[in-house]
Structure 1
Amino acid sequence: MKFDWSYFVNLFPQLIKYVPLTLLMAIIAMLIAVICGVLLTLLQLVNVRPVKWLVKLYVSFFRGIPTLVLLFIVYYGLPQIMPIFKGVPATTAAIVGLGIKESAYLVEIFRAGIASVDQGQIEAGKSLNFRNSKIFLNIVLPQAALNALPATGNTFVSLLKETSLAFALGVTEIFAQGKLLASASLKFFEVYVAVGLIYWVLIIIYSWLQRIIENSLGAPYRRITNDIDTIKKSVS
């Protein structure tokens, strides 16, 4: 069987119209993941052992179970034990499930970002009688956010690809539409190659945008480093 180029080209208009839903799911799920990740990271910084243990349990559990299983728990399981969740749209369940799943990864990313901040800068802030809140907001947080940005971006890439699992709940996004087209035409190779190319292009565009953001946010720190190097050279 030959590759049907005409059919392959005509697939893209039929698939691209589902890109907005896929991006919307990924962006909202990422916002949920970031909010939950920040809150859990702050709880982890609290010097209370039971709280730290609960955060570690959360991270271990949600990182340990398959994403598809979690989506089924949220969409099919929760309504059985909590009637308030009955009638929740499949898209909403998928977004919440993906957000919870990725938040477990972001907790470790944010914690590592905070730990990467030079302890000497924190001590310098204390020597200037800065309050702990001011030290965290003005010294720790900006650097931790910059250090965590690359790994956070990689998490979004993974999340974007995992939106394809929403088809199992009946959500018609890029992959689900591709599955329908493949079943109707029996041209599975052409369809799934087209679907893969669309995801690939989306990730290339996002990676390009992420590099621009990283460079713009890192520019002030590079200028400071260059100034310090210049001063050192002039002194020597």
Structure 2
Amino acid sequence: MQTSLDVQYIVELLPILLKYLGVTMEMALWGFFFALILAVVLAVIKVFKVPLVHQAAGLFISFFRGTPLLVQLFLLYYGLPHYIPALAGMDAFTAAVIGLSLHFAAYMAESIRGAILGIDKSQMEACLSIGMTRLQGMFRIILPQASRVATPSLMNYFIDMIKSTSLAFTLGVAEIMAKAQMEAASSFKFFESFLAVALIYWAVVVFFTRIQHIVETRLNKAY
């Protein structure tokens, strides 16, 4: 029975796991890209309170904020194809990206909505006074200002998304967590394997936290 930490095994395992980090980051980047687009749309709908669509957006946000991401991934990958044949050919990577996008869009939409509501109403009134429509004023004037306010929380959601990609291994995606699981099963060194993957996630999060700090500093410089 092993009683001491096998540091040498961790050192040898790290380069193996790092080969799969690209898959993890690709999932996170695509997920964040689509989540951001959807979140902006949802936030604008909520702010303008578009009839019917407003209620649908509220229901969407409530569902994806109120249910676990793992359940959503299973519903999307294992459940929906039984009722929507077109989804039967969807691969695990695509399902993971869609699941991450929908889940985090619900949270990001509320952050963006809050940032929009934090902008002085006189800004929109000024837009209307010079002939802009409300939609033009939103995208040309309000959203650029709101983006500065929303950036810290959006960056936090991106970091959370990176960590949440670890759930993609439950769908069969060969990413960093899945590789750690396979290595642990073959070597029976579970603690060392998962410690190695934890160290990689930690390093990635520290890196993007630093990027977040730099971005916030640059955005706030003018203020």
The amino acid across from 2:80 in the alignment is L
Please report how far the alpha carbon of residue 215 of structure 1 lies from its aligned counterpart in structure 2 after TM superposition.
1.9
Contact 2:116 2:143 (C-alpha < 8 Å) held by counterparts: yes
Residue 170 of structure 1 aligns with which residue?
172
Supply the distance in 2 between the matched residues of 1:181 and 1:169 (Cα, whole angstroms).
18
The amino acid across from 1:180 in the alignment is M
Supply the distance in 2 between the matched residues of 1:124 and 1:156 (Cα, whole angstroms).
33
1:189-204 aligned within 5 A: 189-204=191-206
The sequence identity of aligned pairs, in percent, is: 40
1:175-214 aligned within 5 A: 175-214=177-216
Q: For 2:119, what is the secondary structure of its paired residue?
A: coil
TM-aligned CA distance change 1:191 to 1:50, over 3 Å = same
Supply the distance in 1 between the matched residues of 2:154 and 2:203 (Cα, whole angstroms).
19
Supply the distance in 2 between the matched residues of 1:10 and 1:74 (Cα, whole angstroms).
36
Contact 2:10 2:196 (C-alpha < 8 Å) held by counterparts: yes
Please report how far the alpha carbon of residue 211 of structure 1 lies from its aligned counterpart in structure 2 after TM superposition.
1.7
Residue 82 of structure 2 aligns with which residue?
80
TM-aligned CA distance change 1:87 to 1:47, over 3 Å = closer
1:9-48 aligned within 5 A: 9-48=11-50
Supply the distance in 2 between the matched residues of 1:88 and 1:133 (Cα, whole angstroms).
35
Supply the distance in 1 between the matched residues of 2:92 and 2:188 (Cα, whole angstroms).
27
Q: What is the CA deviation profile of residues 68-96 of structure 1, one whole-angstrom value per residue up to 9, with x for unaligned ones?
A: 11111111111111111112111111111
Larger of the two Rg values belongs to structure: 1
Supply the distance in 1 between the matched residues of 2:34 and 2:135 (Cα, whole angstroms).
24
Q: Does 2:63 match 1:61?
A: yes
Supply the distance in 2 between the matched residues of 1:72 and 1:175 (Cα, whole angstroms).
17
Q: Does 2:7 match 1:2?
A: no
Q: For 2:217, what is the secondary structure of its paired residue?
A: helix
Contact 2:115 2:146 (C-alpha < 8 Å) held by counterparts: yes
Contact 2:116 2:146 (C-alpha < 8 Å) held by counterparts: yes
Please report how far the alpha carbon of residue 214 of structure 1 lies from its aligned counterpart in structure 2 after TM superposition.
2.0
Please report how far the alpha carbon of residue 213 of structure 1 lies from its aligned counterpart in structure 2 after TM superposition.
1.8
Supply the distance in 1 between the matched residues of 2:81 and 2:191 (Cα, whole angstroms).
37
Residue 225 of structure 1 aligns with which residue?
none
Please report how far the alpha carbon of residue 29 of structure 1 lies from its aligned counterpart in structure 2 after TM superposition.
0.7
Please report how far the alpha carbon of residue 164 of structure 1 lies from its aligned counterpart in structure 2 after TM superposition.
0.3
Supply the distance in 2 between the matched residues of 1:21 and 1:183 (Cα, whole angstroms).
21
Please report how far the alpha carbon of residue 109 of structure 1 lies from its aligned counterpart in structure 2 after TM superposition.
0.8
Please report how far the alpha carbon of residue 128 of structure 1 lies from its aligned counterpart in structure 2 after TM superposition.
5.2
1:17-166 aligned within 5 A: 17-126=19-128, 131-166=133-168
Please report the RMSD computed on the Cα atoms of aligned residues, expressed in angstroms.
Answer: 1.6
Size of the aligned set, in residue pairs, is: 221
The amino acid across from 2:108 in the alignment is L
Supply the distance in 2 between the matched residues of 1:118 and 1:44 (Cα, whole angstroms).
17
Supply the distance in 1 between the matched residues of 2:132 and 2:76 (Cα, whole angstroms).
44
